[in-house]
Structure 1
Amino acid sequence: MASDPTPVLFHYSFSPYARRIAWYLTLRGIRYKQCMQPPIMPRPDLAALGVQYRRIPVLTIGKDVYCDTRLILQKLEERFPDERLGAADSDGEGKAIENLLESWTTDGGLFLSAVLLIPRNIPLTKDPKFVKDRGSFFAGQKWERGDMTSLRGEAQVQMKRAFDFLESTLLADGRQWLRKTEKPTLADIQAIWPLDWAVGMGSLDGNIISKTSHPKVFAWMARFRQALSNAKARMEKVVVSGSDVLDGLQHEAFAEEEGKVDESDPLGLRKGENVTVWPTDSGSTHRDTGTLVTLNSREIVVQRKTADSRFDIRIHFPRINFRVVPAASSRDSNL
C-alpha cells in the first residue's frame, strides 16, 4: 500500500458512542479527521457517500466505511497493531474481560439506563424535533418526558449496580486500570463510556452515587480523564467537510482487500447477490442495500456506488445485532 489513508470520524460532539472511538484514536495517537454531523436526521454528508445507516459514529478509511463501534474498534486494532490497546491474542483472560465489558455496557442495558437519566432541563430534550427523531430510533422506547420520568428510578438503580460492580470487583484491589496495566487499555474504554457520560451530564443522584460511596470508581475515572487530556494535548484537531471527504475519497483506494462469502454460512447468501442490511436493536428503519462482497461470522460487507455514482464504496457491518437478507425480500422482513 503506497500510503496509509487517514481515518475520518463522522460524529457529533456529545455522542457517547462516538467518544469511544475518539478516545481510542486519541489515546493511541492515531491521526484522524473529524466530519461533524447533526445530532438528528437527515445527515447529507453520509447520504452523499451512499450510506443510509443512521447511527453515529461512522468511520471511513479509504473507500471502506465502518459502522457500529464494536466493529470499528476491532478494525482499528487490526489496522494499527503496534502498541494497540486491546489484549494480545494470546491473552485469553484479557480478551474475555474486554468482550464482557463491551457486552455489559453496549448490549446489556447500561447505556439505556444512562439515556433514561438524561437531565430533563437539557434543551435537546425539550426540542420536538429531537424527541421525534429519537422516538423513531429506539425500538419500543418512548421519548416523551413523562414516560422517561417514570423510568428514572429504575435507571438509577441499574447505574448504581454498575458502580457497585466495579467498586467491589475489578477495582477493589487498588489497581490503576482494569487489566492491571500501566496505562488505560481497551477494557477501560469499554467500561467507562456510559458512566463518564452520566457523570458529565450531572445525571446521577449524589445521595446514591458519589466520590464518597464509590471512591475507587471515581478515582479511576479521574485518572482516565487525565490520561485522555494528556493525549489530546499531543493531537492536532483536523475538521473537514463532507464534500471534502467525498472529493478526497475518489482518489483513494479501498483500505482492505475484498473478502469472501462463507459458503457454510447458515443464511445461504452468495457473493455478488444484492442484499439489504440493517441493525435490529436501534435505528432499524434505515437500511443499506448493495452487492454482497464479504460475509463471515464477524462481519457483513456490501459494495455500492456513492449517491452521485462517482465511485464505489464498501460498507462494513458487524454480524451481532444486524440482519442481512436478499434485497428482493427485505420489504417483507420483520425484526
Structure 2
Amino acid sequence: MSDIILHHYAGSPFAEKARMMLGFKGLTWRSVSIPPVMPKPDLTALTGGYRKTPVMQIGADIYCDTAIMARLLDRIQPVPALYPEGKEALAASAAHFADEVMFRHGVAMNFQPHGVAERFKGAPEDVMKAFLADRKKLFEGGSAAPLHPAQAKSQWPALLGRLEQQLAESGSFLMGEEPCIVDFSYYHPLWFVASNKAVANELDPYPQVLAWLEAVAACGHGEHSELPSPEAVEIARDSTPEPVGSGDFDFVDPNGFEIGNQVTVAAVDYGVDPVAGTLVYHDAEEIVVSREDDRAGLVHVHFPRYGFRLAAAG
C-alpha cells in the first residue's frame, strides 16, 4: 500500500480529529501542510474542488471528510476499531452529532471577540480579515449557518454538563474502556477551545471532561514526516487508483444513479463546492467518482454518502 498522506494545517479541528485517529491506529503517515484559506491549488488538483480540511490521500485515491477516513482506517487496520463492533449505528450517530453540533459550538466559542483577538494575536490585520472572509464564504449556500457566540455560550452548560455526567458515571471513554470514533469526534471541537487560552476557561467547570481530554490526547498523532505539496500531486499522477469498493456491487441508489453516470458530489452543510466526475462505485456508506486532472492525472475521489449530495452533472 502507498503511504497515507494527510493534507492539513495545524489549527484545523477536523485535521486534529484525523491526526488523532492516525495516532490511535499507531500508523505512520506523511504530512502535507496546506493553506488555511483559499486558494489551495495543489489540493484542488487532487479533489476537483472540495476545499474542506483535512483530505487524506493514498496514491491516486483521495478521501474527503473524516467520516470516510475513519472507515478507510478501519479497513487498513481493523484493530483497534474506530467503530466498536455491535455499536456501529450508535457510534456513527453520536460522532455525526459531535461533528455537527459540538463543532459549531466550539467554533462559536472561539469566535467571541476576545477569542478572535487571541487566535490572531501578532498576525497582520489583513491575515485576520482574509481568514474571516474565507470562512464567511465557506458557509454560503449550505444548510449549516454559523452559530452566534451568545447562543453557543447559552447552550454550552447543557452540552458540557451531559458529557461531565456521563464521564463521571461510565469510565474513561464515551462508549467503553477504549476510545473510538465518538471520542475523537467530541474531542476535536473541545481541543479547539482548549487550545485558545482566551476561552479555555470555558472548560474549567468540567473536571471529568478535562481528564477525558487528557486521556484521548494520549493517543497522540502517530509517526509522520513532512511531504511538500507538489510531491503529493506527483504521487497521485504516478499512481493508479485502487480497485473500487469492497463487495456491495448490487447496491441500488435510491435516486436511480448508476455506475458510469456523470455526476457531482457536494457537502450539504458548508463548503458546498461540487466535485464533478464519473460515478465508479457506491454503496450505503460511500460514493466514489473518477476524474482526470491535468496535474494529478486519473484519481478516484471518495465521499461518505451521509451528509453529501449526489446529483446529475450539469
Q: Shorter-chain TM-score: what band?
A: 0.7 to 0.9
Partner residue, 2:191: 196
Q: Residues 290 and 125 from structure 1, CA distance in 2 versus in 1: closer, same or farther, beyond 3 angstroms? A: farther
Report the Cα offset of residue 203 of structure 1.
5.3
Partner residue, 1:215: 207
Would you say the 8 A contact 2:55–2:62 is kept in 1?
yes
The aligned runs of 1:114-263 (5 Å cut-off) are 114-118=106-110, 119-121=115-117, 122-123=119-120, 127-139=128-140, 151-169=148-166, 171-173=167-169, 175-181=171-177, 183-202=178-197, 204=199, 206=201, 209-210=203-204, 213-225=205-217, 227-228=218-219, 231-232=220-221, 235-257=222-244
Larger Rg over CA atoms: 1
Note the alpha carbon deviations across 1:3-52, whole angstroms, 9 max, x for none: x1111001111000011111110121111101110000010111232521
CA distance in 1, matches of 2:282, 2:198: 41
CA distance in 1, matches of 2:223, 2:70: 21
Report the Cα offset of residue 209 of structure 1.
4.1
* Aligned residue type for 2:261: E
Report the Cα offset of residue 288 of structure 1.
0.8
Q: Residues 266 and 257 from structure 1, CA distance in 2 versus in 1: closer, same or farther, beyond 3 angstroms? A: closer
Q: CA RMSD in A?
A: 2.5
* Aligned residue type for 2:135: R
Question: Which of 297, 301, 305 in structure 2 is aligned with 1:319?
Answer: 305
CA distance in 2, matches of 1:191, 1:110: 7
What percent identity do the matched residue pairs reach?
27
Q: How many residues align?
A: 301
Q: What secondary structure sits across from 1:32 in the alignment? A: strand
Structure 1, unpaired ranges of 5+: 142-146, 329-335
CA distance in 2, matches of 1:50, 1:279: 13
Partner residue, 1:144: none
Partner residue, 1:331: none
Larger RCO (CA within 8 A; separation ≥ 6)? 2
TM-score (norm 1): 0.82
The aligned runs of 1:284-299 (5 Å cut-off) are 284=272, 286-299=273-286
Q: Residues 110 and 236 from structure 1, CA distance in 2 versus in 1: closer, same or farther, beyond 3 angstroms? A: closer
CA distance in 2, matches of 1:173, 1:19: 27
Matched, 1:18 2:19: no
- Structure 1 runs of 4+ aligned residues shifted over 4 Å read 258-263
Partner residue, 1:273: 261
TM-score (norm 2): 0.87
Structure 2, unpaired ranges of 5+: none
Q: What secondary structure sits across from 1:277 in the alignment? A: strand
Matched, 1:81 2:67: no
CA distance in 2, matches of 1:160, 1:204: 14
CA distance in 2, matches of 1:276, 1:72: 20
